[in-house]
Amino acid sequence: MDAPDPSILGVVLAGGLARRMGGGDKTLLPLKGRPMLSILMERLAPQVSALAISANGDPARFAGAAPGVAVLADPLPGFPGPLAGILAGMDHAASLGMGWVLSVPGDTPLIPPDLASRLRGAAAPVACAASAGRVHPPVALLPVSLRGDLRDSVVAGEGKVSRWMGRHGCAVVEWAGDPFLNANTPEELAALERALG
């Protein structure tokens, strides 16, 4: 495993409404007897120098699963989507003097240990992950220098991560298998449980 990059803030995107899971915080659902968020944070922490959770509502709900981790509210009201969560992460990274944000959805606890290093090695300012024949735009490394452009896009109503990233020449980095398997349904949550062994 590579050493953590001191210029990268890891941001877990946990602000979704989880409608297909019946609502609530998917990241707090148990996997192997622990909150999914705890497993994800353990895998992400060695790759970055600081962590944050992008979510709306009461930050205290994450205290048990991620003690001491900053919980960031979306900069705009009304659940504007993952781009707003990435923007909140960029704003926080800028306040810490960091140059990059590594974003990961909160329901992807299988992220690989080389995620940050491989995305950082891509020959483009923006890089996102792909696996199993699918591109995963929210699993991305983005320079904080793009936050002004991202803010303008979010304020203008842009909701598609892939469309915004595409405007910036996003490099796609492929992984074998499906380390970005996520849980949008109870069946997918069961598949994650099996994948964790």
SS3 52: strand
13 annotated ligand-binding residue: yes
User: 131 — phi, psi (to 5°)?
Assistant: -165, 155
User: Tokens at residue 86, please?
Assistant: 């990435």
32 annotated ligand-binding residue: no
58 annotated ligand-binding residue: no
15 annotated ligand-binding residue: yes
CA distance 84 to 79: 8
- How large is the C-alpha radius of gyration of the chain? 15
User: Tokens at residue 179, please?
Assistant: 């380390």
88 annotated ligand-binding residue: no
Provide the total of helices (H) and of strands (E) in the chain, helices listed first.
6, 9
83 annotated ligand-binding residue: no
Binding-site sequence positions for Mg(2+): 107
Binding-site sequence positions for GTP: 13-15, 26, 74, 107
